[in-house]
Amino acid sequence: MSVLSVAGITAGYGRMDIIRDIDIDIPSGGRVALVGSNGAGKSTIVKTINGLIPARRGTISWDGREIGRTKASERTREGIATVPEGRLLFPECTVVENLVAASTFKRAKALRERTLEYVFDLFPRLSERAGQRAGTLSGGEQQMVTIGRALMTCPRLLILDEPSIGLAPRVVEEIFSVLGRLTETGLSLLLVEQNIQLSLRSVDYAYVLQRGELVKQGPSGALMDDPQVRAAYLGT
């Protein structure tokens, strides 16, 4: 069963369409990637799904219910959480304060202590730096806080927008190993990345975006072996 279905959405800014006729299906507990080069329109799809910009055409369904007109805050309450590109933390607040700030609505607040323990179990380094200001953390640690903050909303779908950008390879591997653990709980993942090789190794199914349109889709293993994908994105 699909937790999120995007059907024929077109969206953009001003008079310009950035994405056109996009279809994406995310099964419950599934690991899905949306991959493509910088400027392909990936972040526009993310913003359309989480309600920051409206779809001009098409539908967005959550558990079979159309949510295209619901506010971004309501979509978060429904269980859609986003790890944004650029992290967007409160730099003068501590790690704990940044995490707790995300658990303000009823369901997340009721589970706050349990979820906080879970986040610290996933990222032990954050437990060690719980009282440290977020602005003084390394880039990798800040990304961990950003992921933890999204988890504090108790989501059913976690969208990660370019989680590897600006991070050292060792830190990227560490964070992606944690993402593998998340799906063991039944959480659905939408990984949005320009690091295509890493993405395809981390998911079950992927969509390839090029100039605002989907040009390929399929099981990740099949896309890894696809000659066109390999030539265009994997350098082989």
CB 26 within 8 A of CB 2: yes
At residue 176, the pLDDT reads: 87
Measured at the CA of 40, the angle between CA 78 and CA 213, to 5 degrees, comes to 80
Residue 216 is predicted with a pLDDT of 93
Domains along the sequence of the chain with CATH: 1-77+189-236 (3.40.50.300)
Q: Does the model's pTM come out above 0.85? A: yes
pLDDT (average), residues 215-231: 89
Q: What is the pLDDT of residue 38?
A: 85
Question: Does residue 234 carry a pLDDT above 80?
Answer: no
- Kindly tell me if the per-residue pLDDT of 142 is higher than 90: yes
**Residue 101: per-residue pLDDT:** 93
User: What's the CA gap between 178 and 185, in Å, rounded?
Assistant: 12
Helical spans, DSSP H, in 183-219 = 196-202
Instruction: Give me the percent of the chain exceeding a pLDDT of 70.
Output: 98
Do residues 140 and 167 touch, judged by C-beta distance below 8 A?
Answer: yes
The 10s digit of each residue's pLDDT in 108-135 is 999 999 999 999 999 999 999 999 999 9
Would you place residue 49 in the very low, low, confident or very high pLDDT band (cuts 50, 70, 90)?
very high
Among residues 201, 199, 202, 191, which one has the least CA distance to residue 161? Answer: 191
d(CA 13, CA 11): 7
Q: Which tens digit of pLDDT belongs to each residue from 164-183?
A: 888 888 888 888 888 888 88
pLDDT of residue 236: 54
Dist. CA 151–CA 173, nearest whole Å: 19
